[in-house]
């Protein structure tokens, strides 16, 4: 009788966080597939192997558009209609899908073929150097040109001024993050997942830079607006004194 009572008591005791753990486990199973190969991640990796360029284009386009919306939300940069979906969002999606993804696909494929089968420490360091001194400058230059055009630059001189002003700051960020990201990819990731992984890294860094830039622009606009108001107020006071 006592044994039965103990069993029933144990059975009825709720496990702390049991419901949350079950939900988290179910989400994890759905995303990764667990021990099976039916999860979203497994399906994505399968598509990445079967249709690498198309999958990278969809990934990059989605991340670029999401980055613009997220950066606008962080910076509180609303349109005149009061929302965060500006005209830049579809332009960023087009840039990510049709410029960033194909360029990254080609450059990373070339980089991987150059060092195919090389697993020594020397080869890995050389691969990082080539990535930072050749691949990153090409990608960053194309990025800055695209951002200048999206921002409204229409002449060669406007585009060149944007590239010259932003190239070294962007390269400094790349020289800090790129070796770490590439070393991580070399150690832990299969080669066909490198481009999406680099896209995610770029998404995080790009969101931060984009939000920071938007905040600076909004602050400059507020200062200009305050100066215009003070100037207008000063002129009004001067006219009032003259009339008097």
Pairwise pLDDT comparison (218 vs 89), residue with the higher score: 89
Q: What is the mean pLDDT of residues 122-126?
A: 92
How crowded is residue 93: how many other Cβ atoms within 10 Å of its Cβ?
20
d(CA 68, CA 84): 9
Going from N- to C-terminal start, the domains of the chain cover 52-243
Residues ≥6 apart with Cβ < 8 Å to 117: none
For 79-88, which contacts have Cβ atoms below 8 Å and span 24 or more sequence positions? 88/150
Compute the CA torsion angle 40, 45, 48, 51 (nearest 10 deg). Answer: -70
Element (H, E) at 235: helix 194-243
Percentage of the chain with pLDDT > 70?
A: 80
pLDDT digits (tens, 9 = 90+) for 156-173: 999 999 899 889 988 999
Q: Running DSSP on this structure, what letter comes out for residue 16?
A: T
**In the predicted structure, residue 9 carries a pLDDT above the cut 60:** no
Please, is 101 exposed, middle or buried when counting C-beta atoms within 10 Å of its C-beta (0-12, 13-18, 19+)? buried
Compute the CA torsion angle 222, 227, 232, 238 (nearest 10 deg). Answer: 160
Per-residue pLDDT at 81: 85
HSE (side-chain half, CA atoms, 13 Å) at 116: 7
Least confident of 138-142, 186-190, 216-220, 235-239: 235-239
d(CA 240, CA 238): 5
Pairwise pLDDT comparison (38 vs 103), residue with the higher score: 103
d(CA 201, CA 198): 5
Per-residue pLDDT at 238: 56
Which token pair is 7? Answer: 């069993």
**Among the listed residues 77, 91, 173, the one whose alpha carbon sits nearest the alpha carbon of residue 132:** 173
What single string gives the DSSP state of each residue in 109-172? HHHHHHTTT--SHHHHHHHHHHIIIIIHHHHHHHHHHHHHHHTT--SHHHHHHHHHHHHHHHHH
């Amino acid at each position: 009788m006592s044994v039965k009572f103990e069993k029933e008591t144990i059975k009825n005791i709720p496990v702390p966080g049991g419901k949350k753990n079950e939900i988290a486990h179910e989400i994890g199973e759905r995303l990764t597939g667990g021990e099976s190969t039916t999860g979203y991640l497994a399906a994505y990796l399968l598509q990445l192997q079967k249709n690498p360029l198309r999958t990278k284009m969809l990934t990059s386009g989605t991340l670029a558009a999401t980055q613009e919306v997220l950066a606008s939300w962080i910076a509180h940069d609303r349109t005149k209609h009061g929302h965060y979906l500006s005209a830049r969002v579809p332009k960023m999606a087009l840039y990510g899908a049709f410029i960033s993804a194909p360029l990254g696909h080609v450059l990373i494929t070339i980089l991987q073929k150059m060092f195919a089968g090389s697993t020594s420490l020397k080869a890995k360091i050389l691969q990082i150097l080539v990535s930072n001194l050749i691949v990153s400058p090409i990608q960053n230059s194309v990025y800055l040109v695209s951002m200048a055009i999206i921002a409204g630059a229409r002449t060669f001189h406007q585009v060149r001024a944007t590239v010259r002003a932003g190239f070294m700051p962007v390269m400094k960020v790349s020289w800090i993050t790129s070796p770490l990201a590439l070393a991580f990819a070399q150690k832990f990731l299969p080669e066909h997942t490198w481009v999406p992984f680099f896209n995610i890294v770029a998404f995080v860094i790009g969101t931060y830079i984009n939000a920071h830039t938007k905040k600076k622009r909004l602050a400059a606009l507020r200062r200009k607006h305050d100066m215009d108001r003070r100037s207008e107020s000063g002129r009004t006071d001067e006219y009032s004194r003259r009339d008097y």
